[in-house]
Amino acid sequence: MKIGILNIQGDVSEHFHMIQRLKGKYHVEPVNVKTLADLKDLSGLIIPGGESTVIYKILKKSGLYETIKEKAGSGMYIMGTCAGAILVSRDTGDKTVEGMDLIGITIKRNAYGRQIDSSIQTIDIKNTGKFEAVFIRAPRIESADGSTVLASMDGYPVMVREKNILAMTFHPELTGDERVHEYFISMIES
């Protein structure tokens, strides 16, 4: 199975290497996605963290925005991390970035503070266990209507799933812990 990593800006190589590391356990192949043609034959797509405004503008200009929405609506699996969670949300709380409305979450950009406020927190992911989650200028999920909350922190969801969409406000690709990426692969395989 081919899993694309949106290669516009942000933690692209970290996600790519994480999927590449899992090739020994699963029949997966990471694919960098920069153009509409790169979306062909993907089973899943990871939208990485980065700067959501920049990613949004490039997605809209390239035509990738609408195509990703269509493919997700047709069942392609999507994992959005940090800025990716903002992009897949129903409501970004920000007029400069329109969410794709792929998952029923309302999100607030940079809710946990500036770069200096970044941190590593231990969270408990449902059916996975303790996980060292890296939060960098993280958004906060204000509400998760219709979504299954898989992990919370300080009373707010930090990892949610709704059908074929997985969203989290942290960066699992920065930990070396493969379990979140394995969870995404298991979603696709099931």
pLDDT at 41 over 70: yes
Mean of pLDDT values over 53-66: 97
The predicted-structure confidence for 149-173, as pLDDT tens digits, reads as follows 999 999 999 999 999 999 999 999 9
Among 190, 188, 180, CA closest to 42? 188
Question: How far, in whole angstroms, is CA 99 from its chain's centroid?
Answer: 13
Q: What is the CA radius of gyration of the chain?
A: 15
Region of residue 110 (phi > 0: left; psi between -120 and 50: alpha; otherwise: beta): left
- Tally of residues, the chain: 190
Asked whether residue 126 carries a pLDDT value surpassing 80, the answer given is yes
The catalytic residue among 15, 162, 173, 181 is 173
Cβ 45 vs Cβ 16: under 8 Å: no
For the segment 77-113, what is each residue's pLDDT rounded down to a tens digit?
A: 999 999 999 999 999 989 999 999 999 999 998 766 6
Q: Is 27 a catalytic residue?
A: no
Question: pTM value?
Answer: 0.96
Element (H, E) at 132: strand 129-135
Catalytic-role residue among 15, 82, 162, 181: 82
The confidence score (pLDDT) of residue 119 equals 79
Q: What residue spans of the chain are helical by DSSP H? A: 12-21, 52-62, 64-73, 83-88, 179-189
Task: Go through the domains of the chain in sequence order and give each one's CATH number.
Answer: 2-189 (3.40.50.880)
- Among candidate residues 14, 15, 162, 171, the one labeled active-site is 171
Q: Active-site residue 173, yes or no?
A: yes
